[in-house]
Amino acid sequence: MNEIELVVAALGAGAAAGLSDCASSAVRDAYEGLRAAVQRRLDSRGDQVIELPVMGGESEIDDASLREALAVSGADRDGQVLAAAEAFLRELNGPGHHAGIGMVHVHDSQGVHAGQGPQINVFNTGGASGGTPRD
């Protein structure tokens, strides 16, 4: 997940989290901090208005426009925006959810497993005949 995908995912998760009415005040505060940091970057451009989702709101995210605006505004290189996205996702997932793991950045990969639990990969060799599962 690259930095723009991180911010878009956090904004989408925040909008969805508020729909359940079980988001704590800490989660809501972290989301508002993320929105404020992103809005600050977007406002610095001034030429395009992007409507950021409100927690629990019915707004849809236009991913393509948001991704472009984030890239053009430099939000993907803004330490405050990235820290706010990570802080929000940590708060949303609860304490200890990713204890000791940290952020994992993976590019151009298949069959990646991060965290706990089993993973089974199926590597298809020989075309349509399929392959065998491996641990």
- Tens-digit pLDDT string for the chain (135 aa): 789 888 988 888 887 776 566 668 888 899 999 999 999 998 887 666 777 877 776 666 677 888 888 998 899 899 999 999 999 998 888 765 444 445 566 666 666 666 556 666 666 655 555 555 555
Instruction: Give the domain ranges of the chain.
Output: 3-93
pLDDT at residue 49, as a whole number: 73
| Predicted local confidence at residue 99, as pLDDT | 45
User: What string of H, E and C letters represents the secondary structure of the chain?
Assistant: CCHHHHHHHHHHHHHHHHHHCCCCHHHHHHHHHHHHHHHHHHHHHCCCCCCCCCCCCCCCCCHHHHHHHHHHHCHHHCHHHHHHHHHHHHHHHCCCCCCCCCCCCCCCCCCCCCCCCCCCEECCCCHHHCCCEEC
From the list 46, 105, 56, the residue with the least C-alpha distance to 35 is 56
C-alpha–C-alpha distance, residues 130 and 135, integer Å:
16
- Please give the distance of CA 9 from its chain centroid, rounded to a whole number: 3
Distance CA 55, CA 77 (A): 24
Whether the pTM exceeds 0.75: the reply is: no
The pLDDT value recorded for residue 47 is 65
